[in-house]
């Protein structure tokens, strides 16, 4: 996936209307080098196409993509090799690495969560807790790590949460209003306990969000719902408890940390003589 407008803004931010004074002072402008983007710590890779597009944006054309997005790479693996003007490569370096490291970090963390619940029917799902302006890229990285996406925007589907319920005067009233206004939209309702679950089930929502419930309560919720709609667990879930939640029988685990707390995957750029 590529967002060329975001790339232009990132490069413009890096130059801030000026020029790369270090490279202009130390590099004559006639040198050509070969450079490799190399993984320092193994993980799942995402953002290769973005990094390549950054290189293209500064005028480089001799670029070899060695690893595809979604691939697992060991430490020391070269992801991209680029040949060309030294100044151009150095200009693109940080922006390309920022995208590559950040998105690969998300993909890698997602893969860890996916592995934690392997063997269950449950899927790891992201949230809207994304970096402003980077939602599509970050959700793409989640998919590369084996996760699935929740709604991309507020207009994709309805998610009736506690504040909506309070504003509407009750969960049934909130549901009725959404269904009347948007009859074809998917509706998900958040509940905090099994009593609320019993209340909303007759409304026939598409999905019920079990907020801050224990694995045992989630298991009871699965029995109560008995396949009438899908269930998603959210809140208070860690990697240590993920399997217990997955084995409870819910369909999804909503994990905001995939995008808001993923550590950057260590990737560097190594220059070598042509």
Query: Catalytic positions, please?
Result: 94, 129, 161, 190, 211
Report how far residue 178's alpha carbon sits from residue 212's, in angstroms, rounded to the nearest whole number.
24
Which residues face 189 on adjacent strands? 160, 208
Distance of CA 152 to the CA centre of its chain: 11
Alpha helices in the chain (DSSP H): 4-15, 21-26, 48-57, 86-116, 135-144, 162-168, 171-181, 194-200, 215-225, 242-247, 257-260
Q: Name 104's Cβ contacts closer than 8 Å, sequence gap at least 6.
A: 39, 43, 44, 45, 46, 47, 141, 264, 265, 267
Query: What stretch of H or E contains 63?
Result: strand 62-65
**Cβ neighbours, 10 Å, residue 198:** 13
Residues 127, 128, 132: CA angle, nearest 5 degrees: 140
Side-chain-facing half-sphere of 247: CA atoms under 13 Å? 7
């Amino acid at each position: 996936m590529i967002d060329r407008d975001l790339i232009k803004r990132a490069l413009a931010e890096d130059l801030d209307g000026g020029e790369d004074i270090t490279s202009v002072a130390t590099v004559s402008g006639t040198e050509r080098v070969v450079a490799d983007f190399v993984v320092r710590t193994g993980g799942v890779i995402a953002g290769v196409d973005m990094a390549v597009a950054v290189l293209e944006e500064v005028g480089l054309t001799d670029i070899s993509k060695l690893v595809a997005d979604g691939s697992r790479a060991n430490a020391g693996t070269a992801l991209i090799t680029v040949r060309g003007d030294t100044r151009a490569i150095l200009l693109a370096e940080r922006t390309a690495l920022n995208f590559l490291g950040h998105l690969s970090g998300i993909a890698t963390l997602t893969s860890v969560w996916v592995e934690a619940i392997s063997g269950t029917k449950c899927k790891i799902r992201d949230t809207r807790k994304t970096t402003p302006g980077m939602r599509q890229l970050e959700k793409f990285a989640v998919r590369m790590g084996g996760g699935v996406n929740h709604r991309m925007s507020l207009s994709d589907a309805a998610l009736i949460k506690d504040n909506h319920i309070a504003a509407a005067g009750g969960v049934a009233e909130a549901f009725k209003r959404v269904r009347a206004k948007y009859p074809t939209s998917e509706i998900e309702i958040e509940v905090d306990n099994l009593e609320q679950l019993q209340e909303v089930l007759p409304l026939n929502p598409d999905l019920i969000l079990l907020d801050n419930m224990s694995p045992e309560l989630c298991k009871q919720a699965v029995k109560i719902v008995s396949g009438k709609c899908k269930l998603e667990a959210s809140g208070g879930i860690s990697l240590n408890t993920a399997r217990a939640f997955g084995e409870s029988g819910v369909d999804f685990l909503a994990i905001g940390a995939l995008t808001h707390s993923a550590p950057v995957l260590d990737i560097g750029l190594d220059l070598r003589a042509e």
